[in-house]
Amino acid sequence: MLFRFKKIFLCVFFLIPSIIFSDELLERREAYILTKSSWLEVKAQEKKALQESKKEKRKIIKETSRKIKSSGFISVRHVAPNGEIFVNGLYNLIISNEFKGKTVYQIDDEPEQILSENSFLLREGNHTITYKLFDENGVLKDQKKEKVYLDLTAPDVIAQLEGIYFERNSFYYYKPGVKLFLQVKDKDSGVGEIFLSLNKKGYLPMAKMDKPVDSPGPKEIRILATDKVSNLSQEVYLRYTVDSDPPSVDVELNSIPELQSEKGLLCDREISIRLNAFDLGSGVSKIEFRKRGQKEWRTYRDYPLVPRYKKKVSLEYRAIDNLGNESPIKYFKCKVKNEPTPIPEE
Amino acid sequence: MNPHLFLKNNILLILVSLFILLANSNFAVEQKSPIGFPTFAIYTNKIPVYATLSGSFTLHPEREANKAESYFKDIKQSNNIGSGTSYLSVKFEDKVFKFHELTNIKSEWNMEDSSITISGQIPLADVEIFMVLKNKKSRDGSFFVTYGAINRTNRIVDIGFRSLIDVGTEANDGIPLKVCTDSTVEKEIYSNEFKFTPFNSGYWETYESDTDSSIGIRNHLIGQGNTPPDQIAFVNWERAFATDWKYFTNKHVLTSSDSAVLLWWNPQPVKQGERREVSTEYEIKRKNDKISFDLIEPETGSGRLHLKATNNTNSPKEVSYQLDAGTNAFLSLNYDNPLTFLLDKNSSLDKIIPITLHGKGSVDLIVKEKNGKLETNHNLPVNLARENRDQSPKFWKSSKYPIIYNSDKDGLKLKGVLRAKDSGKKLGETDLISVKSIQNSFVYLGEVDLKEFSGEVLVEIFKQ
């Protein structure tokens, strides 16, 4: 009892002063603190993911390359969901046959032959293979039949680009947004895998392709496909450039204007202006100009613009390439001298 | 009572009610989405915001007379399972559910509140998930999307949200997207994939050139009523649509063919019987060619200063803004004052800067703009609430956090304490010192160094 009283007394002894002398809470509210650490963490996660995906990609490229190289060099037997059996040209009868001992095989109605390392099917199409197992005395012990389809035809690959394009010197220039349409057909065992290589970076299975085909710059896409028994298609390739860069455009003057600190540029009265544009991609389609403040653009026709009887020149100009990429509007202004420029005496 | 008079009075009452309903710019209608999900719409002025039972929402300002082009899309001509092209993913413990995969999906439509709630349940767990679209009546053309979860199980569960927003125009599935950095040197306009946090930018928006007539959309990530997402990413829709939670950006992937935005609120533990809610604010951008201040919360003085400047010359130009709240107020901002930006040749500046004004009633925010040689003073009148105390900024972007308190009395001994909201752990404390007298009240200020802490805090003011 005394112990309990002591305990209560101690509690009260410490509690009362803490109530009396504790700070009074006036306000409490919530806030968010956004420090750089949160951003650095996200950045680090992204970097790590990028490194891992690069490593994974290298592994897939290596594996895909091995797969493509081995296509047509190994015996393949594929059983379709409906039970139909497809084999390729290297389908070795000795591998598929589990008979141990002297075995004779017969393909369709052809004469019987002893099963050996060189027992292959030759003619594309359906075949019935009969295997007969004999004992040492030449007595038939077992026999079985297998119906297979020898598929020697590789898939057909049709690749097409769809988008706005311009042909220049046999090069094709596309606007960003160009789409690749792929059609792969195989009438026999069916389409197996499709592989794509972008800009010689190595073949990848189509599902693993993460680079866009419409990013700006030159592109070379190579496509291969296999069927279910590893017949490899012909390589199909497409070369084109995605052009999103506008032309560069500038004025060319027949005389150098004077730069005056207060008035800006001062041009000769005989000034003539040429507009030049340059485009590395689809090429310049047209150059346009207008007096500043006017709405309508006029097409520049490769002859000099000669402002006559003007006190100042105020010109806006731009260039458009053959895919419609427009340069930013540029502006040239100068004041025209009142007096003609004196011709220097010889 | 004369029955004719009664009828007449009732008709008059109905007409008056109809008039009031139509006069109120916030109203709601029900429609059918092209894929058959019932679609609900709330109107923020003339702009409808639609919500479908698939848990997506969409905004179609272009359907209205103002012919705006940008909108969030939720439906594409495809044979997908109907989740739409924008959808919400909910991370529940180690599983991820897309909203349309929830059970018992239903809608609740609140005319008075001008809100739509679409809710569903996590399969095999008593956890309710909801999405609320709500008009912000005080701010025309602005609405909040809230994602929430109520844990009715008898254990603590981790719940997170990921929102995929398909952004495009009628003419183009891919449009450039813009963030707001602290400088003009960093890249702001993106047509490729990019991941960021609210630390980098307090909002993202669609980008329209000055000559473009279309109206764009802005998503505020910080500010009153907003829960800053942990991560935001500009993504290629086709790639992002195939994922349900994790997504790593690739800067070489363009978004110009099909753009979308991902917002993540990472999983957090939700206790038994408690709820977790996160909100984000979308607004229709208006063409704003001048400097303006948007007061978001009169009680705390938090608002957004919109800066706009152009450089039409062929050489870089410096633009600076000296901010001053005059003698009647005090201001805090997360930037050096004056704010200085270097504009490249033929470029423009278009930024929103969060600011907190400390004071009472009518005050003036003075912005002294220096654009090259041209100096202009902008006096922006601001009406703050009459009563306000704690005015510590709600969002802060550096380790040194200012604790601010208003009091009618001078000479008080005050202490400010900062605690982590989730753990209650004390992060730091400081004595508050009276720094300025405004309209018979006194501003007390102190600063707490949070070092690398990032997250939600509780700001407590104590009288010693």
In chain B, residues 346-385 whose CB comes closer than 8 Å to chain A: 346
Best mean pLDDT range from A294-298, B20-24, B437-441: A294-298
Determine, for residues B457 and A31 on separate chains, whether the beta-carbon distance falls below 8 Å: yes
Higher pLDDT, B13 or A48: A48
What local confidence, expressed as pLDDT, does residue B227 receive? Answer: 92
What local confidence, expressed as pLDDT, does residue B46 receive? Answer: 55
Higher pLDDT, B108 or A61: A61
What local confidence, expressed as pLDDT, does residue B344 receive? Answer: 84
Q: Sorting pLDDT into bands at 50, 70 and 90, what band is A324?
A: very high
Q: Rounded mean pLDDT of B136-160?
A: 86
Q: Sorting pLDDT into bands at 50, 70 and 90, what band is B122?
A: very high
B304: CB partners within 8 A, 6+ apart: B223, B293, B294, B296, B352, B353, B354, B355
Q: Which of A64-78, A197-211, A308-322, B166-180 bottoms out in mean pLDDT, i.e. has the lowest?
A: B166-180
Q: What percent of chain A has pLDDT over 90?
A: 49
Amino acid found at B181:
T
- Picking from A95, A342, A189, A44, the residue whose alpha carbon sits closest to that of residue B195 is A44
What local confidence, expressed as pLDDT, does residue A303 receive? Answer: 87
Adjacency order of strands within the sheet including B426-438? B395-396, A24-33, B455-463, B414-420, B426-438, B441-449, B400-407
Q: Which of B97-106, B196-205, B212-221, B344-353 bottoms out in mean pLDDT, i.e. has the lowest?
A: B212-221
Query: Does residue B43 surpass a pLDDT of 80?
Result: no
Determine, for residues B249 and A46 on separate chains, whether the beta-carbon distance falls below 8 Å: yes
Q: Rounded mean pLDDT of B351-373?
A: 88
Q: Sorting pLDDT into bands at 50, 70 and 90, what band is B1?
A: very low
- Picking from B105, B224, B221, B104, the residue whose alpha carbon sits closest to that of residue B163 is B221
Contacts of A46 in chain B (CB under 8 A): 195, 248-249
Contacts of A214 in chain B (CB under 8 A): 254, 256-257
Determine, for residues A26 and B415 on separate chains, whether the beta-carbon distance falls below 8 Å: no
Q: Rounded mean pLDDT of B212-234?
A: 85
Number of neighbours of residue A93 by Cβ within 10 angstroms: 23
- What ipTM was reported for this prediction? 0.72
Q: Residue B273 belongs to what H/E stretch?
A: none
CA dihedral A45, A47, A48, A50 (to 10 degrees): 120
Q: Sorting pLDDT into bands at 50, 70 and 90, what band is A214?
A: confident
Residue of A34, A46, A314 best to disrupt the B interface, most CBs of B under 10 A: A34
Q: How far apart are CA B457 and CA B110, in angstroms?
A: 32
Q: Sorting pLDDT into bands at 50, 70 and 90, what band is B29?
A: very low
**Is B392 in the A-facing interface, judged by CB distances under 8 Å?**
yes
Amino acid found at A197:
S
User: A52: exposed, middle or buried (C-beta count within 10 Å: 0-12, 13-18, 19+)?
Assistant: exposed
Burial B153-175 (b: 16+ CB within 10 A, else e): eeeebebbbbbbbbbbbeeebbb
What local confidence, expressed as pLDDT, does residue A3 receive? Answer: 54
Q: Sorting pLDDT into bands at 50, 70 and 90, what band is A157?
A: very high
Determine, for residues A35 and B397 on separate chains, whether the beta-carbon distance falls below 8 Å: yes
CA dihedral B228, B229, B230, B236 (to 10 degrees): -140
What local confidence, expressed as pLDDT, does residue B182 receive? Answer: 76
Q: Which of A124-128, B110-114, B211-215 bottoms out in mean pLDDT, i.e. has the lowest?
A: B211-215
Q: Rounded mean pLDDT of B394-401?
A: 78
Residue of B252, B256, B406 best to disrupt the A interface, most CBs of A under 10 A: B256
Do A334 and A313 meet the contact criterion of CB atoms below 8 Å apart?
yes
Q: Sorting pLDDT into bands at 50, 70 and 90, what band is B418?
A: very high
What local confidence, expressed as pLDDT, does residue A340 receive? Answer: 65
Q: Quote the minimal CA–CA distance from A21 to chain B in Å.
A: 8
Determine, for residues A177 and B174 on separate chains, whether the beta-carbon distance falls below 8 Å: yes
What local confidence, expressed as pLDDT, does residue B204 receive? Answer: 94
N residues, chain B? 464
Q: Rounded mean pLDDT of B279-296?
A: 83
Number of neighbours of residue B421 by Cβ within 10 angstroms: 13
Q: How far apart are CA A299 and CA B140, in angstroms?
A: 45
- Picking from A247, A267, A345, the residue whose alpha carbon sits closest to that of residue A310 is A267
Q: What are phi and psi of A270, to 5 degrees?
A: -90, 20
What local confidence, expressed as pLDDT, does residue B237 receive? Answer: 87
Q: Rounded mean pLDDT of A172-180?
A: 90
Q: CA nearest A34 in B: which residue?
A: B397
What local confidence, expressed as pLDDT, does residue B125 receive? Answer: 93
Q: Quote the minimal CA–CA distance from B221 to chain A in Å.
A: 11
What local confidence, expressed as pLDDT, does residue B83 receive? Answer: 31
Residue in B257, B396, B458 nearest the CB of A30: B458
Q: CA nearest A23 in B: which residue?
A: B464
- Picking from B422, B131, B134, B418, the residue whose alpha carbon sits closest to that of residue B274 is B422
What local confidence, expressed as pLDDT, does residue B216 receive? Answer: 75
Query: Does residue B80 surpass a pLDDT of 70?
Result: no
CA dihedral B5, B11, B12, B13 (to 10 degrees): 110
Contacts of A327 in chain B (CB under 8 A): none
Number of neighbours of residue A63 by Cβ within 10 angstroms: 12
What local confidence, expressed as pLDDT, does residue B107 receive? Answer: 78
Higher pLDDT, A19 or A79: A79
Query: Does residue B365 surpass a pLDDT of 60?
Result: yes
Q: What are phi and psi of B341, to 5 degrees?
A: -130, 140
Q: State pLDDT tens for residues B306-324.
A: 998 888 887 888 999 999 9
Best mean pLDDT range from B18-22, B118-122, B261-265: B261-265
Number of neighbours of residue B229 by Cβ within 10 angstroms: 23
Determine, for residues A176 and B254 on separate chains, whether the beta-carbon distance falls below 8 Å: yes
Query: Does residue A249 surpass a pLDDT of 80?
Result: yes
Q: Which of A262-276, B188-202, B380-394 bottoms out in mean pLDDT, i.e. has the lowest?
A: B380-394
Query: Does residue A241 surpass a pLDDT of 50?
Result: yes
- Picking from B239, B175, B232, B182, the residue whose alpha carbon sits closest to that of residue B209 is B175
**Is B249 in the A-facing interface, judged by CB distances under 8 Å?**
yes
The separation between the first and the last C-alpha atoms of chain A, rounded to the nearest angstrom, is 129
Q: How far apart are CA B382 and CA B364, in angstroms?
A: 6
What local confidence, expressed as pLDDT, does residue B389 receive? Answer: 63
**Is B200 in the A-facing interface, judged by CB distances under 8 Å?**
yes
Three-state SS for B359?
strand
Q: Which of A223-237, B333-347, B384-398 bottoms out in mean pLDDT, i.e. has the lowest?
A: B384-398
Determine, for residues A36 and B405 on separate chains, whether the beta-carbon distance falls below 8 Å: no
**Is B85 in the A-facing interface, judged by CB distances under 8 Å?**
no
**Is B253 in the A-facing interface, judged by CB distances under 8 Å?**
yes
Could you tell me the CA-to-CA distances from A13 to B18, B99, B464 in Å, in that order? 68, 57, 21
Query: Does residue A320 surpass a pLDDT of 90?
Result: yes
Number of neighbours of residue B39 by Cβ within 10 angstroms: 25
Q: Rounded mean pLDDT of B206-212?
A: 73
Residue in A30, A39, A176 nearest the CB of B456: A30
Do B358 and B438 meet the contact criterion of CB atoms below 8 Å apart?
yes
State both tokens at A186.
């195989």
Q: Quote the minimal CA–CA distance from A89 to chain B in Å.
A: 39
State both tokens at A170.
């046999």
Give how far the C-alpha of residue B405 lies from the chain's centroid of Cα atoms, to the nearest Å.
25
Q: 3-state SS of chain A?
A: CHHHHHHHHHHHHHHHHHHHHCCEEEEEEEEEECCHHHHHHHHHHHHHHHHHHHHHHHHHHHHHHHHHHHCCCCCCEEECCCCCEEECCCCCHHHHCCCCCEEEEEECCCCCEECCCCCCCCCCEEEEEEEEEECCCCCEEEEEEEEEEECCCCCEEEEEEECCEEEECCEEEECCCCEEEEEEECCCCCEEEEEEEECCCCCEEHHHCCCCCCCCEEEEEEEEEEECCCCECCCEEEEEEECCCCCEEEEEECCCCEEECCCEEEECCCCCEEEEEECCCCCEEEEEEEECCCCCCEECCCCCECCCCCCEEEEEEEEEECCCCECCCEEEEEEECCCCCCCCCC
Q: CA nearest A212 in B: which residue?
A: B253
Query: Does residue A71 surpass a pLDDT of 80?
Result: yes
List the alpha helices (DSSP H) in B329-403: none
Residue in B249, B256, B398 nearest the CB of A35: B398
State both tokens at B6.
């009664």
Q: Quote the minimal CA–CA distance from B71 to chain A in Å.
A: 20
User: A309: exposed, middle or buried (C-beta count within 10 Å: 0-12, 13-18, 19+)?
Assistant: exposed
Residue in A32, A36, A50 nearest the CB of B222: A32
Interface list for chain A against chain B, based on CB atoms closer than 8 Å: 23-39, 42, 45-46, 49-50, 53, 176-177, 210-212, 214-215, 328, 331
Three-state SS for B462?
strand
DSSP letter string, B139-150: STTEEEEEEEEE
What local confidence, expressed as pLDDT, does residue B17 receive? Answer: 37
Number of neighbours of residue A59 by Cβ within 10 angstroms: 10
Number of neighbours of residue B391 by Cβ within 10 angstroms: 25
What local confidence, expressed as pLDDT, does residue B146 receive? Answer: 94
Q: Domains along chain A?
A: 89-150 (no CATH), 156-242 (2.60.40.10), 248-336 (2.60.40)
Q: Residue B319 belongs to what H/E stretch?
A: strand B317-324
- Picking from B300, B422, B357, B404, the residue whose alpha carbon sits closest to that of residue A26 is B404
Q: How far apart are CA A272 and CA A256, in angstroms?
A: 11
What local confidence, expressed as pLDDT, does residue B150 receive? Answer: 97
Query: Does residue A170 surpass a pLDDT of 70?
Result: yes
Contacts of A28 in chain B (CB under 8 A): 458-461
Query: What mean pLDDT is reported for chain B?
Result: 78
Q: Sorting pLDDT into bands at 50, 70 and 90, what band is A184?
A: very high
Do B51 and B121 meet the contact criterion of CB atoms below 8 Å apart?
no
In chain B, residues 397-426 whose CB comes closer than 8 Å to chain A: 397-399, 401, 405, 414-415, 421
Residue in A32, A176, A211 nearest the CB of B394: A32
Determine, for residues A29 and B390 on separate chains, whether the beta-carbon distance falls below 8 Å: yes
- Picking from B165, B277, B283, B167, the residue whose alpha carbon sits closest to that of residue B220 is B283
Q: CA nearest B390 in A: which residue?
A: A27
Q: What are phi and psi of B26, to 5 degrees?
A: -100, 110
Determine, for residues B248 and A49 on separate chains, whether the beta-carbon distance falls below 8 Å: yes
